[in-house]
Chains A and B, each alone.
Chain A
């Protein structure tokens, strides 16, 4: 996992500039622009200031508490509207999230799945990343913007968040491996790859998927995801399973829309008719 992240070829091949003509993003102060250390300080200071303010029980105290709240918010989310307005950014180095930041603070997910199909066929599906919403539950769309770049949109289940980012393919080895990484200025910093390894005999192919990302609200976002019971590991396993179902069977079985009754109540142990 960490070896993947420290591999220089991921990310380093990418051009460190913001994508041209991407005007949507500047209007929205939603990307991370506060550096990791500064976020910790902001959280701690915010907590002290807010508590102090609240304990005063006066109008200036309330204002002080509000300032503390703002500091906590920017610490928790890593997003600062003031920095955005001033064009400041203590997070991105050369326009992108530091690689060790994803390694340290990111969520790492890795899953494997045996699929009874040759690697060529499986690779063909992934080669077109626009296919991914068919197997990934939370992925709303992937749209190709040019030869190497794609625009991703996810809606995260019960949390109801909607996130978008641009990614580019950083490696494409036919029938073996595809890797991608989000472009600088994304709402989510993420790297991912899928590898196809021939399984022994006629067992088909081992598909290994690896993904790392910094959740939009940092550790807090990760904890929130845990609370609503959507662990990224299980999510990736379910998504890979959908891939397996689609490749092996041709369809993904569902029980949504089948009949069911309405009865409830409690029964009792009753020997007599």
Chain B
């Protein structure tokens, strides 16, 4: 089959690799009909996430049709022919964490848990195509995907919805939704969202779904003007940080108290024009810091006293100069995490079916899988007003 593989930083390729087989007894094989390039795949592309090996199959946002099920899969839940979306974290459904809905923290699905012991203190769940720190599972930017514990993980989809409407249930829609939802938003809240990439776009729309009073979206109008426009289309007030001072604008928009909820939908590779952004760049280049936490700093600085800072953008290692003084004295709450996708799929599917949101708004490019290399470049360097690329493995 054809699959996208990671070769080295800034190098991916489309290769012919062997078809996946049932390995564990509760595996299923899914024939992929749509699969996406995620913003977090760009961290792999840039070589920011350790424990990638040349030849690893990438991708964690696939959907498709069940082609084959292992002998121990519960046939009442998943059978051949089912149309399914694949949540990016692999859950077991039985451990302490899964039973509390924290499926991305699952204790049992990461075969390389020892790496997590060393790097994170405790290992997190297996994730498709996202380095050996999360298990080294082959990813979903391929024609077929092996999905372990299929009866727990695969989420069945109705036939009447298009791929573009449901494929983002694998990651970015639930991720953007959780970014706001886990802050427990109240109807009079103002939500500020840093980053208008795909996750940011879903966070903006989720904030409205969750009845926030005002949503403010922040990004770079010089580099990605179309993303700011997409945010405005959803009803958000936008701040272009290449021209405006974020802190002053946020205070102005909130009567001086700051946003109640501040969402970091950017992650470890933030850029900017402020002195601290330059500081991070230099420390990155001299290998004194792995992550560039500019957004976390600014969010803590701007957030209202007693408010919540939500970190949903991906971080991989260590960060510097986090303003702990502001964090502590302002009584802030920090909410973080890889998305617990399984927990959100039913309610988000309900929103889609009742046409309260049509996730296909975010798709700007549809490419055949064979053009994934161009897709990565286009997405990474923000060319052609790219926001979200969906790959078609059949084309």
Contact = CB atoms under 8 A, between A and B. Distances in A.
A31 to B, nearest CB: 32
Given A116-B96, A248-B92, A267-B8, A261 B13 contact: yes
A234 interface: yes
B5 A260 contact: yes
Contact of A267 (B3, B7, B136): B7
A114 B56 CA distance: 32
Contacts of B107: 244, 248
Contacts of A268: 10-11
Interface stretch (A167-175, A220-228, A251-259): A251-259
Contacts of B8: 264-267
Interface string A31-50: 00000000000000000000
B108 A259 contact: no
Interface residues of A, number: 35
A241 interface: yes
Contacts of B381: 271
B54 to A, nearest CB: 5
Contacts of B221: none
A3 interface: no
Highest count of chain B CB atoms <10 Å: which of A114, A241, A253: A253
A234 to B, nearest CB: 6
Interface string B138-160: 10001000101100000000000
A273 interface: yes
Interface residues of B, number: 52
A204 B94 CA distance: 11
A59 interface: no
Interface of B: 1, 3, 5, 7-13, 15, 17-21, 23-26, 54-57, 72, 90, 92, 94-96, 99, 107-109, 111, 113-114, 117, 126, 135-138, 142, 146, 148-149, 374, 377-378, 381, 383
Given A249-B92, A254-B111, A259-B18, 19 more contacts: A244-B95, A248-B92, A248-B107, A249-B108, A253-B126, A253-B135, A254-B23, A255-B135, A259-B3, A261-B5, A261-B15, A261-B17, A263-B13, A263-B15, A263-B54, A263-B55, A265-B7, A273-B378, A273-B383
Interface of A: 114, 116, 203-204, 234, 237-238, 241, 244-245, 248-271, 273
23 contacts: A116-B99, A203-B96, A241-B113, A244-B95, A248-B107, A249-B92, A251-B26, A253-B24, A254-B23, A255-B111, A255-B137, A258-B20, A258-B146, A259-B17, A259-B18, A259-B20, A260-B55, A260-B57, A263-B15, A263-B54, A263-B55, A264-B54, A267-B8
